Amino acid sequence: MSAGNLFDLTGKVAIVTGSTKGIGRAMAAGLADAGASVVVSSRKQELCDAVAKEIANETGAATLGLACHVGEWDAIPPFVEAVRERFGRIDVLVNNAGINPARIGIVDMSLDYWRKLFSVNLEGPLRTSQCVAPIMRDQGGGSIVNIATMAAYSGGASICAYGASKAALVNLTKSMAQEWASWNVRVNVLSPGPFMSEMMEGGERTAPGFLDLVANGTLMKRIADPGEIVGPVLYLASDASSFVTGDDISVSGGMQK
């Protein structure tokens, strides 16, 4: 295969959870631009439909807006089956949906809060991958990309549940890669550093100087644009990474793990 075709996803079908805004939307649009049919998913059907239509208009790709709350274990199998029925296959799964609703210290953390974060950030990717991997196996293979965070490696004050859930996701990724290598299902993790988002903008509004503080935590001294996640996810989703599985790639401007 020539270098020019390594990133081509023509004929492939990709699911991106949490893809109606931020890096999720950027990844969905990037995969569509590479030729994939893309499933745009988040909790609200109207928003999924709107973003799916936008991406279709931008890229010319086939898209499907399909809501699913990945924190609800039993909602995931019918979601995956609906995608399979629509497109006949699933080649790429990007487990991007995640939450970090509030900064809560360890002493003040409730069990309900802890379980809420783990249900979305860890159990969601687990259940979605459980449902998708056998489909990939039966069609000859596929790629699963889990989205973690640099907070998985260093922890941080008031983000205990978020960091712990993502650290568990990194570990889960390596286990999935080992179990499913014989199925030709590759499983890798991307760990973003600071990307511009509504959460970042909100942090600056409530604490002026927040953006500069976060940017200075990177070697490149800046916050990334959401579009800068596209190259790394396209690499892991495509044949460009055909001999890569169980790996953990940071996209963080040089932050240290």
Contact 42, 70 (CB under 8 A): no
Evaluate if residue 2 carries a pLDDT over 60.
Answer: no
Evaluate if residue 119 carries a pLDDT over 90.
Answer: yes
65 in helix, strand or coil? strand
CA 66, CA 135: separation in Å to the nearest integer?
18
- Whole-number Cα distances in Å, 229 to 104, 171, 190, 223: 28, 21, 9, 12
Catalytic member of 113, 153, 162, 235 = 162
Tell me how many domains the chain contains.
1
Higher pLDDT: 200 or 237? It is 237
pLDDT score at 239 = 96
For the segment 39-91, what is each residue's pLDDT rounded down to a tens digit? 999 999 999 999 999 999 999 999 999 999 999 999 999 999 999 999 999 99
Round the average pLDDT of the chain to a whole number and report it: 94
Q: Is residue 222 part of a domain?
A: no
Largest CA distance in the chain: 55
Q: Is residue 232 part of a domain?
A: yes
Q: Is residue 200 part of a domain?
A: no
User: What angle is formed at CA 256 by the lines to CA 230 and CA 167, rounded to 5 degrees?
Assistant: 75
Evaluate if residue 1 carries a pLDDT over 60.
Answer: no
The pLDDT confidence band at residue 257, using thresholds 50, 70 and 90, is confident
Q: What percent of the chain has pLDDT over 90?
A: 84
| Domain CATH for 125 | 3.40.50.720
Range of the domain at 87: 3-195+227-251
pLDDT score at 23 = 96
Active site residue 162: yes
Q: Is residue 204 part of a domain?
A: no
Q: What is the mean pLDDT of residues 210-235?
A: 94
